[in-house]
Amino acid sequence: MSYDYSLIGKRIRQAREERELTQEVVAEMLDVSNAYISKIERGKTAISLERLSQLCVVLEESPEYILSGTNSSTKDYLRHEIVEMLERCSPEKIKLILQIIKPIVDYGENEK
């Protein structure tokens, strides 16, 4: 399985910002350079499993979420993955997706 390091970096940056940590603070906690954290967040460098594990502890996030965008321990773990995919779509693609999912979402609504 190959990983999209730009998406991994985006999730790392998002988790860091949610905890109101700077790149400098995270770098200091991991004993690495600010430039290294920046490269990871921009998807310019791969992250080792050991470093990922350390980073997840610092960011209080699961490796599963950082790597795949899903966290099966939460009730709506697929919602995050869908939102991330939608963020990469053009407005035209979003309209097409809406046409496809609306009947699915609406299915059975009139029976309640």
pLDDT at position 99 is 94
**Does residue 2 sit in the same domain as residue 50?**
yes
14 and 64 in one domain? Answer: yes
Average pLDDT over residues 63-76: 73
Can you tell me the distance from the alpha carbon of 97 to that of 91, in angstroms, rounded to the nearest whole number? Answer: 10
pLDDT at 81 over 60: yes
DSSP 30-71: HT--HHHHHHHHTTSS---HHHHHHHHHHHT--HHHHHHS--
3: containing domain = 1-73
Q: In this structure, what CATH number is given to the domain that contains residue 25?
A: 1.10.260.40
Q: Are residues 10 and 62 in the same domain?
A: yes
Give the span between the Cα atoms of 49 and 63, in whole angstroms. 9
> What is the value of pTM for the model shown?
0.64
Query: Residue 84 — pLDDT band, cuts 50, 70, 90?
Result: confident
Looking at the structure, tell me whether residues 60 and 28 fall in a common domain: yes
